[in-house]
Amino acid sequence: MNLAVDWRAVSGADERVLEARDVHLHYGSRRVLQAVNLRAQPGRVLALIGPNGAGKSSLLGVLAGLLRPSLGMAMLDGVSLARWPAPELARRRAMLSQRVQLGFGFRAEEVAMLGRSPHGAASPQASDRRIVEAVLRATGTWELRQRNYLELSGGEQQRVQLARVLAQIWDCREAPGWLLLDEPEAGLDIAHQHELLGHARQLAGQGFGVIAVLHELNLAARYADDVALLAQGRLVRHGGRDQVLDAQVLSKIYGVALACARDGEGRPLIHAV
Protein backbone atom coordinates (compact mmCIF):
# COMPACT_ATOMS: atom_id res chain seq x y z
CA MET A 1 0.00 0.00 0.00
CA ASN A 2 1.38 3.39 -0.98
CA LEU A 3 1.21 6.22 1.50
CA ALA A 4 1.05 9.84 0.40
CA VAL A 5 3.26 11.43 3.02
CA ASP A 6 2.52 14.96 4.22
CA TRP A 7 5.05 16.01 6.86
CA ARG A 8 2.62 18.65 8.13
CA ALA A 9 0.30 15.84 9.20
CA VAL A 10 3.04 14.23 11.28
CA SER A 11 2.79 15.09 14.94
CA GLY A 12 5.29 17.76 15.90
CA ALA A 13 8.27 19.34 14.17
CA ASP A 14 10.56 17.15 16.27
CA GLU A 15 9.48 14.21 14.10
CA ARG A 16 11.07 15.78 11.00
CA VAL A 17 14.14 13.61 11.44
CA LEU A 18 15.83 10.72 9.65
CA GLU A 19 16.44 7.86 12.03
CA ALA A 20 17.30 4.22 12.49
CA ARG A 21 15.29 2.35 15.10
CA ASP A 22 16.80 -0.88 16.44
CA VAL A 23 18.25 -1.64 12.99
CA HIS A 24 19.81 -5.05 12.37
CA LEU A 25 21.23 -6.00 9.00
CA HIS A 26 22.43 -9.48 8.05
CA TYR A 27 24.10 -10.65 4.86
CA GLY A 28 23.42 -14.37 5.14
CA SER A 29 24.96 -15.43 8.43
CA ARG A 30 27.12 -12.29 8.71
CA ARG A 31 25.89 -9.57 11.02
CA VAL A 32 26.59 -6.19 9.48
CA LEU A 33 24.56 -3.97 11.81
CA GLN A 34 23.32 -4.82 15.28
CA ALA A 35 20.69 -2.91 17.27
CA VAL A 36 21.57 0.52 15.85
CA ASN A 37 19.49 3.45 17.10
CA LEU A 38 20.45 6.74 15.53
CA ARG A 39 18.69 10.05 14.98
CA ALA A 40 19.81 12.73 12.50
CA GLN A 41 18.38 16.24 12.54
CA PRO A 42 17.91 18.75 9.73
CA GLY A 43 20.17 21.75 9.86
CA ARG A 44 23.09 19.66 11.11
CA VAL A 45 25.92 17.59 9.64
CA LEU A 46 26.23 14.08 11.06
CA ALA A 47 29.47 12.19 10.37
CA LEU A 48 29.55 8.39 10.49
CA ILE A 49 33.04 7.22 11.48
CA GLY A 50 34.69 3.95 12.41
CA PRO A 51 37.23 1.39 11.15
CA ASN A 52 36.86 -0.48 7.88
CA GLY A 53 34.04 -2.99 8.13
CA ALA A 54 32.30 -1.10 10.94
CA GLY A 55 29.04 -0.90 8.96
CA LYS A 56 29.12 2.81 8.10
CA SER A 57 28.18 2.52 4.42
CA SER A 58 25.60 -0.15 5.20
CA LEU A 59 23.96 2.12 7.77
CA LEU A 60 23.92 4.96 5.24
CA GLY A 61 22.28 2.61 2.73
CA VAL A 62 19.60 1.76 5.29
CA LEU A 63 18.99 5.44 6.02
CA ALA A 64 18.71 6.09 2.27
CA GLY A 65 16.11 3.35 1.91
CA LEU A 66 18.37 1.40 -0.43
CA LEU A 67 18.89 -1.47 2.01
CA ARG A 68 16.04 -3.11 3.89
CA PRO A 69 16.92 -3.93 7.50
CA SER A 70 16.65 -7.52 8.65
CA LEU A 71 15.03 -6.20 11.82
CA GLY A 72 13.99 -2.72 12.88
CA MET A 73 13.34 0.16 10.50
CA ALA A 74 14.56 3.45 9.12
CA MET A 75 12.12 6.34 9.33
CA LEU A 76 11.73 9.78 7.79
CA ASP A 77 9.31 12.26 9.33
CA GLY A 78 8.05 9.48 11.60
CA VAL A 79 7.11 7.22 8.66
CA SER A 80 8.95 4.02 7.78
CA LEU A 81 10.98 4.40 4.59
CA ALA A 82 9.37 1.17 3.37
CA ARG A 83 6.05 3.03 3.23
CA TRP A 84 7.30 6.02 1.25
CA PRO A 85 6.47 6.00 -2.48
CA ALA A 86 9.80 5.81 -4.29
CA PRO A 87 9.38 9.03 -6.36
CA GLU A 88 8.42 11.04 -3.28
CA LEU A 89 11.33 9.69 -1.27
CA ALA A 90 13.69 10.51 -4.15
CA ARG A 91 12.57 14.13 -3.99
CA ARG A 92 13.38 14.31 -0.28
CA ARG A 93 16.74 12.55 -0.04
CA ALA A 94 19.65 12.06 -2.38
CA MET A 95 22.70 9.87 -1.93
CA LEU A 96 26.15 10.25 -3.43
CA SER A 97 27.82 6.84 -3.50
CA GLN A 98 31.56 6.21 -3.37
CA ARG A 99 31.87 5.35 -7.05
CA VAL A 100 29.28 6.24 -9.66
CA GLN A 101 29.74 4.56 -13.02
CA LEU A 102 28.54 6.41 -16.12
CA GLY A 103 29.25 4.88 -19.51
CA PHE A 104 27.85 7.59 -21.78
CA GLY A 105 29.58 10.76 -22.90
CA PHE A 106 27.03 13.19 -21.50
CA ARG A 107 27.98 16.79 -20.96
CA ALA A 108 28.46 17.72 -17.33
CA GLU A 109 25.27 19.78 -17.31
CA GLU A 110 23.32 16.79 -18.67
CA VAL A 111 24.63 14.64 -15.82
CA ALA A 112 23.46 17.26 -13.33
CA MET A 113 20.07 17.38 -15.07
CA LEU A 114 19.63 13.65 -14.33
CA GLY A 115 19.04 14.70 -10.74
CA ARG A 116 15.78 16.33 -11.81
CA SER A 117 14.34 13.01 -13.06
CA PRO A 118 12.28 12.25 -9.89
CA HIS A 119 10.41 15.54 -10.36
CA GLY A 120 9.09 14.62 -13.81
CA ALA A 121 6.60 16.87 -15.57
CA ALA A 122 5.68 18.53 -12.27
CA SER A 123 8.81 20.64 -12.55
CA PRO A 124 8.90 23.14 -15.47
CA GLN A 125 11.92 22.88 -17.76
CA ALA A 126 12.88 26.49 -17.09
CA SER A 127 12.93 25.77 -13.35
CA ASP A 128 15.02 22.65 -13.92
CA ARG A 129 17.55 24.65 -15.92
CA ARG A 130 17.80 27.30 -13.19
CA ILE A 131 18.35 24.62 -10.56
CA VAL A 132 21.02 22.88 -12.65
CA GLU A 133 22.85 26.16 -13.09
CA ALA A 134 22.61 26.82 -9.35
CA VAL A 135 24.03 23.42 -8.35
CA LEU A 136 26.80 23.58 -10.94
CA ARG A 137 27.82 26.97 -9.60
CA ALA A 138 27.52 25.76 -6.00
CA THR A 139 29.89 22.86 -6.68
CA GLY A 140 32.38 24.84 -8.74
CA THR A 141 31.58 22.93 -11.93
CA TRP A 142 29.79 25.63 -13.95
CA GLU A 143 32.85 26.09 -16.14
CA LEU A 144 32.77 22.35 -16.89
CA ARG A 145 29.14 22.31 -18.03
CA GLN A 146 29.87 21.74 -21.73
CA ARG A 147 32.66 19.22 -21.13
CA ASN A 148 32.29 15.50 -21.83
CA TYR A 149 31.84 13.88 -18.44
CA LEU A 150 34.03 10.91 -19.39
CA GLU A 151 36.93 13.25 -20.14
CA LEU A 152 36.89 14.88 -16.71
CA SER A 153 39.29 13.95 -13.94
CA GLY A 154 38.07 11.74 -11.12
CA GLY A 155 37.75 14.72 -8.79
CA GLU A 156 35.84 16.73 -11.39
CA GLN A 157 33.50 13.81 -11.99
CA GLN A 158 32.88 13.55 -8.24
CA ARG A 159 31.93 17.22 -8.06
CA VAL A 160 29.59 16.88 -11.05
CA GLN A 161 27.96 13.91 -9.33
CA LEU A 162 27.52 16.06 -6.24
CA ALA A 163 25.77 18.61 -8.44
CA ARG A 164 23.49 15.84 -9.70
CA VAL A 165 22.37 14.76 -6.24
CA LEU A 166 21.95 18.37 -5.13
CA ALA A 167 19.69 18.97 -8.12
CA GLN A 168 17.52 16.12 -6.87
CA ILE A 169 16.66 17.85 -3.57
CA TRP A 170 17.55 21.50 -4.26
CA ASP A 171 13.97 22.79 -4.30
CA CYS A 172 12.62 21.09 -1.18
CA ARG A 173 10.09 23.62 0.03
CA GLU A 174 7.71 22.10 2.51
CA ALA A 175 10.07 19.81 4.41
CA PRO A 176 13.82 19.38 4.90
CA GLY A 177 15.86 17.72 2.17
CA TRP A 178 18.51 15.16 3.06
CA LEU A 179 21.94 14.78 1.49
CA LEU A 180 23.68 11.46 2.15
CA LEU A 181 27.38 11.20 1.27
CA ASP A 182 29.33 7.94 1.25
CA GLU A 183 33.04 8.77 1.63
CA PRO A 184 32.69 12.00 -0.37
CA GLU A 185 36.38 12.80 0.14
CA ALA A 186 37.50 9.69 -1.79
CA GLY A 187 39.41 10.57 -4.96
CA LEU A 188 39.57 14.28 -4.14
CA ASP A 189 42.65 16.28 -3.32
CA ILE A 190 42.79 18.15 -0.02
CA ALA A 191 41.48 21.41 -1.43
CA HIS A 192 38.44 19.77 -3.02
CA GLN A 193 37.76 17.66 0.07
CA HIS A 194 37.39 20.84 2.09
CA GLU A 195 35.44 22.51 -0.69
CA LEU A 196 32.94 19.65 -0.94
CA LEU A 197 32.42 19.39 2.81
CA GLY A 198 32.20 23.16 2.99
CA HIS A 199 29.25 22.93 0.57
CA ALA A 200 27.68 20.31 2.85
CA ARG A 201 28.18 22.64 5.81
CA GLN A 202 26.47 25.48 3.92
CA LEU A 203 23.53 23.25 3.01
CA ALA A 204 23.06 22.34 6.66
CA GLY A 205 23.03 26.06 7.42
CA GLN A 206 20.15 26.40 4.96
CA GLY A 207 18.14 23.72 6.79
CA PHE A 208 19.13 20.56 4.91
CA GLY A 209 20.12 17.46 6.81
CA VAL A 210 23.51 16.02 5.89
CA ILE A 211 24.89 12.59 6.79
CA ALA A 212 28.40 11.73 5.61
CA VAL A 213 30.53 8.61 5.96
CA LEU A 214 34.04 9.91 6.62
CA HIS A 215 37.33 8.07 7.08
CA GLU A 216 39.36 11.13 8.01
CA LEU A 217 38.65 11.93 11.66
CA ASN A 218 39.82 15.52 11.39
CA LEU A 219 37.39 16.21 8.55
CA ALA A 220 34.64 14.98 10.86
CA ALA A 221 35.99 17.24 13.61
CA ARG A 222 36.06 20.25 11.32
CA TYR A 223 32.74 19.95 9.50
CA ALA A 224 30.37 17.81 11.58
CA ASP A 225 28.01 18.98 14.29
CA ASP A 226 27.35 15.42 15.43
CA VAL A 227 29.35 12.22 15.13
CA ALA A 228 28.33 8.55 15.26
CA LEU A 229 31.14 6.08 15.98
CA LEU A 230 30.57 2.51 14.80
CA ALA A 231 32.60 -0.64 15.36
CA GLN A 232 31.77 -4.19 14.33
CA GLY A 233 28.26 -3.20 13.31
CA ARG A 234 27.39 -1.56 16.62
CA LEU A 235 26.90 2.08 17.48
CA VAL A 236 29.55 2.84 20.12
CA ARG A 237 28.88 6.53 20.62
CA HIS A 238 26.55 9.13 19.12
CA GLY A 239 26.46 12.80 20.02
CA GLY A 240 28.25 16.10 19.60
CA ARG A 241 31.71 15.93 18.08
CA ASP A 242 33.45 16.90 21.33
CA GLN A 243 31.67 14.09 23.12
CA VAL A 244 32.41 11.39 20.54
CA LEU A 245 35.91 12.34 19.40
CA ASP A 246 37.52 11.16 22.60
CA ALA A 247 41.13 10.02 22.20
CA GLN A 248 40.85 7.15 24.64
CA VAL A 249 37.75 5.70 23.01
CA LEU A 250 39.09 6.21 19.49
CA SER A 251 42.39 4.57 20.40
CA LYS A 252 40.55 1.48 21.60
CA ILE A 253 38.30 1.30 18.53
CA TYR A 254 41.01 1.93 15.92
CA GLY A 255 43.70 -0.09 17.69
CA VAL A 256 46.31 2.68 17.56
CA ALA A 257 47.40 5.22 20.17
CA LEU A 258 45.71 8.54 19.43
CA ALA A 259 45.73 11.90 21.15
CA CYS A 260 43.45 14.91 20.88
CA ALA A 261 44.56 18.54 20.68
CA ARG A 262 42.56 21.65 19.73
CA ASP A 263 42.80 23.95 16.74
CA GLY A 264 42.54 27.72 16.94
CA GLU A 265 38.73 27.53 17.02
CA GLY A 266 38.62 24.87 19.74
CA ARG A 267 37.78 21.97 17.46
CA PRO A 268 39.36 18.57 18.13
CA LEU A 269 42.52 17.59 16.25
CA ILE A 270 43.21 13.85 16.34
CA HIS A 271 46.75 12.60 15.79
CA ALA A 272 48.76 9.43 16.38
CA VAL A 273 51.26 9.31 19.24
pLDDT digits (tens, 9 = 90+) for 160-213: 999 999 999 998 867 899 999 999 887 778 888 888 899 889 889 989 999 999
| Selected residue with higher pLDDT from 195 and 222 | 222
- pTM comes to 0.90
User: In the predicted model, what is the mean pLDDT of residues 77-81?
Assistant: 95
Burial of 18 (0-12, 13-18, 19+ CB in 10 A): buried
Within 13 A of 30's CA, how many CA atoms are on the CB side? 8
For the cut 70, the answer to whether the pLDDT of residue 141 exceeds it is yes
For the cut 60, the answer to whether the pLDDT of residue 153 exceeds it is yes
Within 13 A of 226's CA, how many CA atoms are on the CB side? 17
d(CA 87, CA 119): 8
When mean pLDDT is compared across 99-103, 119-123, 201-205, the lowest value belongs to 99-103
Supply the pLDDT for residue 53. Answer: 93
Supply the pLDDT for residue 265. Answer: 85
Region of residue 149 (phi > 0: left; psi between -120 and 50: alpha; otherwise: beta): alpha
Supply the pLDDT for residue 266. Answer: 86
What percentage of the chain carries pLDDT values higher than 70? 94
Supply the pLDDT for residue 8. Answer: 40
Tens of pLDDT, residues 7-59: 344 434 457 899 999 999 999 889 999 999 999 999 999 999 999 999 999 99
Supply the pLDDT for residue 173. Answer: 67
